[in-house]
Structure 1
Amino acid sequence: MSEDEAWLLISVSTAGAAATLRVQVWRKLRSLGALYLQQSVCVLPARDKVVREVRRLADRVRHQGGQARVLRIAFTDPAERAQIVAEMNAARDDEYGEVLERLPAFRQELETERARGRASYAEVEESEADLDRFRTWLGKIATRDYFDAEGGAAARQAVAEAAAELETFEAEAMSIEAPAEPGPARPARRLRAVDEQ
């Protein structure tokens, strides 16, 4: 069975285990991009990294008093597989959409600071931290975007445009806070008198 055909069917029960285990399981499976078919049962593509992470999670669940079952499966109906992929892509597109919804506020903040004449190193530093959060968020979504959801390209482009806008803002801040030093003074040219030839 090829990597594109193999899937993991994951069933987890944390009944009888510490309450925190349920949250850990939910967070881990969500971070991997699991698609829930029903409560406590989800699927993920059987990519190498995913298989390792799910095995570790299942071991942790068992060691902490829960139950976990991980089965390698293949869809026999291509339409069913296509539906699962479409649902996973829709979930990623929703996440990419959140990035796109929040980026205008980042760009507006730059414009507001520019309009106030507050292009400064402190503002650049704060905005860089915000942009790093967007990049990290985008990277996490991309990690679980197994089937190249359509929204990914638009989100990556929007983050790149925000980065370019921040570069421009930084250049403005630098020109205000550290204006270019004048070059060395040039010696005055002596003008020759017309009759000196």
Structure 2
Amino acid sequence: MTNEPWLLVSASTAGAPDSLRVQVWRKLRSLGALYLQQSVCLLPARPEVAREVRRLADRIRHQGGTARVLSLALTDPDERQAVVAELNAARDAEYAEVLQRLPELRRELADERARGNATYAEVEESEADLERFRAWLGKIAARDYFDAPAGRAARDAVDQAAAELAAFEDAALRAEAPRPRVDRP
């Protein structure tokens, strides 16, 4: 959407408890804010984002800080494109970290399988690892407002790891399942 509204958020925690600064930074980071300068950032004004920003601004004010949330339009197409490119670059960097760390899980599955160590305990451990990757990917996707290019590769890599884990689980089941008894006459 080329004419979508944006939120300009200015937040200051001076005079507020020290913990508020970290809370504000974490929340804006989780929303995928693009910092224009210290304490000033930009976000697309999508309903879920606007709701979270309003809640954050209220929290800042109630704890002694100051916050302004202004709605604006990026009327220059080149400027809008530059902002979207910066947001996508930030998401691509996050997706790249997922892609960088995921091969470790896949290597571990291959190594355990090669050692003949396809066990239920290994399946559980690897499932927990895969769920962490899925949760991490979900958090990134929630702030990927403009479909950053690396998102598809990260989702595909997590899906591939899930398929490899399913195959590993099948091997563990075959290795640990009781063998049917064969009665000989």
User: Is the TM-score greater than 0.5?
Assistant: yes
Report what 1:146 is aligned to: 145
Report what 2:84 is aligned to: 85
Report what 1:99 is aligned to: 98
Normalising by structure 1, what TM-score? 0.90
Report what 2:39 is aligned to: 40
- In 2, the alpha carbon distance for the partners of 1:179 and 1:112 equals 24
Alignment length (residue pairs): 185
Q: List 4+ stretches of structure 1 deviating above 2 A.
A: 179-183
Report what 1:27 is aligned to: 26
- In 1, the alpha carbon distance for the partners of 2:3 and 2:130 equals 34
Query: Counterpart amino acid of 2:21?
Result: R
Q: Is residue 120 of structure 2 the alignment partner of residue 124 of structure 1?
A: no
- In 2, the alpha carbon distance for the partners of 1:142 and 1:182 equals 50
Report what 1:191 is aligned to: none
Q: Is the 8 A contact 2:3 2:74 kept in 1?
A: no
Query: Counterpart amino acid of 2:167?
Result: T
Report what 2:7 is aligned to: 8
- In 2, the alpha carbon distance for the partners of 1:64 and 1:124 equals 46
- How far 1:179 sits from its partner (Å)? 4.5
- In 2, the alpha carbon distance for the partners of 1:151 and 1:20 equals 34
Q: How much identity, in percent, do the aligned residues show?
A: 70
- How far 1:112 sits from its partner (Å)? 1.3
Unaligned runs of 5+ in 1: 189-197
Q: Is the 8 A contact 1:37 1:43 kept in 2?
A: yes
Report what 2:53 is aligned to: 54
- In 2, the alpha carbon distance for the partners of 1:82 and 1:68 equals 27
Unaligned runs of 5+ in 2: none
Q: Is the 8 A contact 2:3 2:73 kept in 1?
A: no
User: Partner of 1:118: helix, strand, or coil?
Assistant: coil
- How far 1:120 sits from its partner (Å)? 0.2
Report what 2:172 is aligned to: 173
Query: Counterpart amino acid of 1:89?
Result: N
The two structures, once aligned, show a CA RMSD in angstroms of 1.7
